[in-house]
Chain A
Amino acid sequence: MLHTLESLESCNYDGMDMTVLERQAARLKWQQQYYVVQNNNPVPLSASSVPQSQGLIGSNLGSGQMVELKRPEVFLGTDDLQDFVNLPVSGPDFGESEKLDLVPPEAAADYCISRTFNCQMTTPNIAVMKEEREDVILEKIESTTGSGRVSFNKRKAEAVADHKSKDKRIRGEGESEVKTKCSTEISRNSSKENSKASEVQKPDYIHVRARRGQATDSHSLAERARRGKISNKMKCLQDLVPGCNKITGKAGMLDEIINYVQSLQRQVEFLSMKIAALNSSVELSVQNLPMKEFPAYVANFPAAAKLPEMAGLPCFQLNPLQKESVRFMLNESLHPPQTEGVARASVCITEQSLSSSSMTQLQPFSTWNMDPQGLYNMYNMGFH
């Protein structure tokens, strides 16, 4: 398999994306290492292991994007991904976000179909598999391009391209080569032949290449990838907005988001009016608290459990500017600049004050450690 792909690279292809080949080569190098691992863990490639391997590949390729593969896992009911794969998953744990499956039912079923086929591809005879897949590929290409005579190498290349394009949903997350890898990996695994695979292949081969009923042109594939990203973001939003776990469907979610945003804005308005009222009548003073109690307060944030990691969520990545500003602010608290007009303070906010869900329990207090040079006095004076 390796040699064929190397010969691929030497061939001249019209309209062939060279980056595909480059990626393929890099992937093969990775695969060599992977197969060392695989051979050390002789796990029978059952139905669940193929998705697992895909998960393995996916997590190696893209960070924090296992969600795309995990969801079908959940859908198929195979949950041994955790057992098989012991990879560090970067990004937040998407396990909780799986409660809402925003995958439309028909797409999931189609995915199921195609994956079922793949699952049949257990550790078979390499030659048999390869030839059958090549026949499949040849037929498919003939049907699409209408050309009768295609070279073997070109077939392979187009198979790669087809693989990548057909499963664009995964591709969009950088795991495009999953199915291709699956095939290459299985063909490389020299094991006993599985006759089942050969039986299932012939009638089902069309399903492998494209999901049933789905168009395969680049526009719809891009559209599908985009939809995948959007549903990903919707899941993140679902974690943010309280009480959305039961809501399924994009429109309902958007409704909830709208309501929540409106309620927050109304709250801000109300609070600012109260502050204005306060401002005109009462002095606005702040209390002081000893600094050593700060870590305890911070540790008790229930909001910390509720609010997502703003720096960690892949969907709301802090851009470098924000990270810089955060770092700057933290540095400031450590080494406050020695300028006069700057209020050097660290804020200590108790759990209750930062809990956005507990609206009625309000026992918070802010603490300021002010510059002993009297900025605190300045504030107090200013409010009189």
Chain B
Amino acid sequence: MKEQRRVYPMEPRTIMQTSFAKTYLNYLLPELANIGKPASSLSVDRYVDKEIEKTVRYEVDMALALSAQGFAWSHALEHKLRLNVNNNNQVGKSQSYLSHDGYRNTMPVNHEPATEKLEGNPKRSGTEAAAEEEERLTYLRKLIPGGSGEMMLDDEILLSELGSYVSCLELQVNVLRSVLQLN
């Protein structure tokens, strides 16, 4: 077999991207293959679909957690996934680690007034702005896996973790999209 050439780029950014993609797919595709087997043997009905959905979602999330080792959120995500699997093995409902779906549309998002206030009123009471920020930070803590843990109590750490989480989410979306494009 011919020797493999060096195929990874030298810039750290692209190294990170390709290594992430590689690890992600390395994990995900075999798992999807395993999922595929029982599906072919069973008749397609809603329950099975939900099961498959749930399993696929689990694998997708687990792939993310395993591809981005070393972050607090990835550790928390892996932990939560394993816990969920143990608890919900019998339950067939589709579940993601985002268990707070109800919050999604209740968060008030007012861009204009907020920025106007902040720009036009530099002497606006610091407590109001701080309270708003706190509200948003707590909401962000709910979004990021492990955000309510003791690791993320510090704002700086929370923001760092957010940054890495956003990057990895982007990478994950790209990888998934490319997988879908193949088919």
* A contacts, CB < 8 Å to B: 104-106, 226, 229-230, 233-234, 236-237, 240-241, 247-252, 254-255, 257-262, 264-265, 267-269, 271-287, 291-292, 294-295, 298-299, 301, 303-304, 307-313, 315-316, 318-319, 321-322, 325-326, 329-330, 333-336, 343, 345-350, 353-356, 362-366, 368-369, 372, 378-379, 382-384
Contact = CB atoms under 8 A, between A and B. Distances in A.
A333 B26 contact: no
A285 B183 CA distance: 7
Interface of B: 1, 4-9, 11-19, 21-23, 25-26, 29-30, 32-37, 39-40, 44, 48-49, 52-53, 55-57, 60, 64, 69-71, 96, 98, 104, 107, 109-111, 114-115, 118-119, 122-123, 129, 132-133, 136-137, 139-140, 143-144, 155-156, 159-160, 162-167, 169-183
A275 B8 contact: no
Nearest to B18: A347
Given A251-B136, A286-B182, A372-B1, 20 more contacts: A226-B155, A230-B159, A234-B159, A241-B166, A249-B129, A250-B133, A257-B166, A272-B53, A279-B32, A279-B35, A280-B52, A292-B5, A295-B7, A301-B17, A311-B13, A316-B163, A333-B8, A346-B8, A346-B18, A350-B178
Contact of A248 (B23, B119, B133, B163): B119
B55 to A, nearest CB: 8
A268 B176 contact: yes
A376 to B, nearest CB: 11
Contact of B32 (A240, A284, A333): A284
Contacts, number: 300
Nearest to B174: A354
Nearest to B51: A276
A234 B163 CA distance: 9
Contacts of A284: 29, 32-33, 36, 179, 182-183
28 contacts: A226-B155, A233-B160, A248-B119, A251-B118, A254-B137, A258-B107, A258-B136, A258-B140, A259-B109, A260-B166, A261-B140, A261-B162, A274-B180, A276-B49, A278-B183, A279-B52, A280-B48, A281-B44, A282-B183, A284-B33, A286-B29, A307-B170, A310-B13, A312-B12, A325-B69, A329-B19, A347-B22, A353-B177
Contact of B114 (A252, A278, A329): A252
B19 A330 contact: yes
A330 B71 CA distance: 20
Contacts of B34: 382
Given A233-B156, A285-B183, A308-B13, A248 B32 contact: no
B114 A364 contact: no
A310 B177 contact: no
Contact of B4 (A267, A308, A316, A333): A333
Contact of B156 (A229, A343, A355, A356): A229
